[in-house]
Amino acid sequence: MSKMFHIVVMPIFLLSLSAFSALADESKGTLHGKLVVEGTGDSQNLFRSFARFFGKLHPGVIIAIPESIGSGGGIRKVVNGEIELARVARRLKEGDKKHGLTYKQFAKSPLVVAVNPSVKAIENLTAREIVGIYSGTITNWAQLGWRDSKIYPIGREPGDSSRSVLRNQLPGFKDIEKTKAKVFYSTSETVRALAAHKNTIGYTPLASIKNAGLKTIKIDGLYPSEENVREGKYRYTVPFGIVYKGDLSPLAKAFVDFIYSPDGQEIIKEYSCVPVDK
């Protein structure tokens, strides 16, 4: 599906970028300065693509996308006035709302179960089987119909956005008292571990594994396609959004507008996400 997606989308994306670049030529010099956008690692690579293309349109601008400090870390920096925009992979909590923050979702990223490419014969897992792997009742790939090899599950820390999606949406996951998974504390570490070690399985937003060479597994027979996400058939999704406080500076507003523009939405689709209207 990935190859077909690139064949269809890339020509449209390049034409769109070309047209937008021509428009940018007329407005060079109207924006300048540096904008730092901190927060979740789930959308980190996506935001770096936003930053690269926005920088081509506005050569006098620097958009910095540092390594993950988590959605909560980004929100705290906005509250403290240290940054203007935070990238988040969850909606605002009740404790966040008292600070007068604005939250805008711009995309849904399917949350996927992914395996190291060494796991060749597993194409689909049921919710019960996923719970079995993470609770420790399923420890060998032979129990799932493949070869006799130990399963090495990778998970995330309590409170992580991806783990929260599974707890809320995957039947039985919230009842796991003690996970048998090796816990990682950032999305990038999770993806690197899955790519580096054979017989591993983990969960992460689909946007975070672009070009990582990992294999995506169907859940209960459903693939995390755009169509299945839009129709609500595939219900495991992570909300990608931005958070800010008060009025935005001209640079920050222009960057936010770019995310919701046709060009920004094409980039979102390139990362297998479903755009959300402003």
Query: pLDDT per residue over 251-262, tens digit each?
Result: 999 999 999 999
pLDDT in tens, 126-140: 999 999 999 999 999
Is pLDDT above 70 for 123? Answer: yes
Give the pLDDT of residue 26: 36
CA distance 255 to 135: 43
Mean pLDDT of the 227-247 span:
97
CATH superfamily of 2-109+238-275: Periplasmic binding protein-like II (3.40.190.10)
Mean pLDDT of 269-274: 97
pTM of the shown model: 0.86
Q: Is 188 exposed, middle or buried (0-12, 13-18, 19+ CB in 10 A)?
A: middle
Q: Identify the band that residue 28 occupies on the pLDDT scale cut at 50, 70 and 90.
A: very low
Whether the Cβ atoms of residue 35 and residue 61 lie closer than 8 Å to each other: yes
Q: E strands, 52-199, where? A: 61-64, 85-88, 101-115, 124-125, 152-156, 182-184
> What mean pLDDT comes out for the span 119-132?
97
Domain 2-109+238-275 identical in fold to domain 111-230? yes
For residues 167-190, average pLDDT:
96
278 band by pLDDT with thresholds 50, 70 and 90: confident
| Residue with the larger pLDDT of the pair 191 and 24 | 191
- CATH, domain range 111-230: 3.40.190.10
For 83-114, the pLDDT digits (tens) are: 999 999 999 999 999 999 999 999 999 999 99
**Is residue 73 scored above 60 in pLDDT?**
yes
Integer Cα distance of 77 and 69 in angstroms: 10
- Report helix angle 262-270 to 2-25, nearest 10: 150
For the chain, which residues make up each domain, given as ranges?
A: 2-109+238-275, 111-230
184 and 155 in contact (C-beta within 8 Å)?
yes
Q: What is the pLDDT of residue 200?
A: 98
- Helices 44-57 and 262-270, packing angle to 10 deg: 140
**Residue 204 — very low, low, confident or very high, per pLDDT cuts 50/70/90?**
very high
Question: Given pLDDT bands bounded at 50, 70 and 90, which one contains residue 30?
Answer: confident
Q: Is the pLDDT of residue 27 over 80?
A: no
